[in-house]
């Protein structure tokens, strides 16, 4: 019997397995980048018009 591998499992390294494409602090999603309410509403209205036009 191999007693070498009978110990407890190694603890996780607490890091992600891969990089996210829109991770906080990246070029696509920088820290502190928050659009205003007017910009958000304009973007939502444009998306709704596009969806309405497509259907």
In-domain check, residue 45: yes
In the predicted structure, residue 7 carries a pLDDT above the cut 80: no
Q: Distance between CA 53 and CA 55 in Å, rounded?
A: 6
Instruction: Report whether pLDDT(6) > 90.
Output: no
| Distance separating alpha carbons of residues 29 and 35, to the nearest angstrom | 12
Domain that holds residue 33: 21-55
Report how many domains make up the chain: 1
What are the start-end ranges of the E strands in 1-55?
none
How much is the pLDDT for 46? 95
**Residue 33 domain flag:** yes
What predicted TM-score, i.e. pTM, was given to this entire model?
0.41
Q: Rounded to whole angstroms, how far apart are CA atoms 55 and 45?
A: 16
The per-residue pLDDT for range 8-49, each reduced to its tens digit, is 777 888 888 888 888 888 888 888 888 899 999 999 999 999
Please tell me the predicted confidence (pLDDT) of residue 5. 72
Q: Does any domain span residue 4?
A: no
């Amino acid at each position: 019997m191999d007693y070498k591998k009978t110990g407890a499992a190694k603890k996780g390294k607490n890091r992600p397995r891969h990089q996210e494409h829109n991770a906080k602090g990246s070029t696509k999603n920088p820290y502190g980048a928050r659009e205003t309410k007017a910009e958000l509403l304009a973007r939502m209205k444009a998306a709704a018009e596009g969806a309405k036009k497509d259907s």
